[in-house]
Amino acid sequence: MNLPLASRSETDWLAGLRRAMKTGECLDLTEPVPWGRRVALALAPHPDDPETIAVTLRLLAASGWELHWAIVTSGWSGVPDDFAGPGRAAKVEARKREQLAAARLFGLPEDRLSFLDLAEDETGSLAATTRNRDRLFALLKRLGPDLVLLPWRFDANATHRLVYQWFAAWAAEVARPVAALGNEDPKTLAFQPHLRVVFDAETARWKERLLECHKSQSARNLAQRGHTFGARILAMNRASPGIPAGCYAERFEVEYWDGKSGVSTPETGRAQGP
């Protein structure tokens, strides 16, 4: 079933979405028509998170959305010592260089990429401080996104989950509609997607080039898993059920706040996470 993200109105979109949820369908997103202020934000807890959903982001940009990327933390802890040395500063710089290279290859305008550099604890996880939360809220207020793409709310990674929790708290307070697309991860369990973007092998090769801009992550994946970062993400995309042979898919759970009740659809807690 094909679903324009908004056809004639938000009501049409939500009605189609609710029908799909009741029947268990996963809708094919092919025409993400802009709505509201036309602003879409890839809210990335770490560098490399936007590239894991790059096909969907390109579709949004091509459909007229004003696309922004925001990188929440430095991601230094994901860099092997033998890649950049043991120092944190060198690891931070390596990840930022990789993210800048990927954004340029994607074609994102320089002024649409933000590095928040929120404080991390000694393990590299996002610190759950009021200052960090307030700075994220300030970014969201400044950009005013209608659509936010970020890792799924029950993701296995603690930083991913905290970013979603803070975003959801902001969305519940905004006096206008906001939608979120929560993407799956290779470690995701009990994922119940509502939307998917299906793509072919040529597009997969383009996506792999973006993913491989993150050389530190390929080095880590090769050492720990025996394959590159790009191969890992595309293996997940290729394993999506119900897609044509030789194709791939990026899959998302949708959550929506109507700007009035402060309650999201589906309600938080509906799904069971890891």
Q: What is the pLDDT of residues 46-89, one digit of tens each?
A: 999 999 999 999 999 999 999 999 999 999 999 999 898 999 99
Residue 49 near residue 184, CB atoms below 8 Å: no
Domain assignment present for 263: no
- Give the SS3 label for residue 39: strand
- Give the SS3 label for residue 162: helix
Residue 253 makes CB contacts below 8 A (sequence gap 6+) with 152, 153, 181, 182, 191, 192, 193, 194, 271
pLDDT of 212: 97
Domain assignment present for 209: yes
pLDDT of 272: 32
Average pLDDT across the chain, whole number: 89
**Prediction pTM value:** 0.91
Domain assignment present for 114: yes
- Give the SS3 label for residue 268: coil
Domain assignment present for 152: yes
Domain assignment present for 56: yes
Residues 32-57: what's their mean pLDDT? 93
pLDDT of 8: 46
Segment holding 85, helix H or strand E: none
The domain tally of the chain equals 1
Q: How confident is the model at residue 265 (pLDDT cuts 50, 70, 90)?
A: confident
Domain assignment present for 84: yes
Phi then psi for residue 255, to 5 deg, are -130, 145
Q: How confident is the model at residue 17 (pLDDT cuts 50, 70, 90)?
A: low
Q: Is the peptide bond before 266 cis (omega within 30 degrees of 0)?
A: yes
Distances, alpha carbon 120 to alpha carbons 75, 95, 114, 127, in Å: 9, 15, 17, 5
Domain assignment present for 272: no
- Percent of the chain topping pLDDT 70: 88
Q: How confident is the model at residue 15 (pLDDT cuts 50, 70, 90)?
A: low
Domain that holds residue 116: 10-253
Read off the CATH number of the domain in which 197 is found. 3.40.50.10320
* Residue among 141, 179, 146 at smallest CA distance from 36: 146
- Tens of pLDDT, residues 135-177: 999 999 999 999 999 999 999 999 999 999 999 999 999 998 8
Residues 238-264: what's their mean pLDDT? 90
Measure the CA dihedral 271/232/238/71, to 10°. 60
Domain assignment present for 157: yes
Residue 101 near residue 155, CB atoms below 8 Å: no
- Tens of pLDDT, residues 201-222: 999 999 999 999 999 999 999 9
* Residue among 58, 101, 104 at smallest CA distance from 203: 58
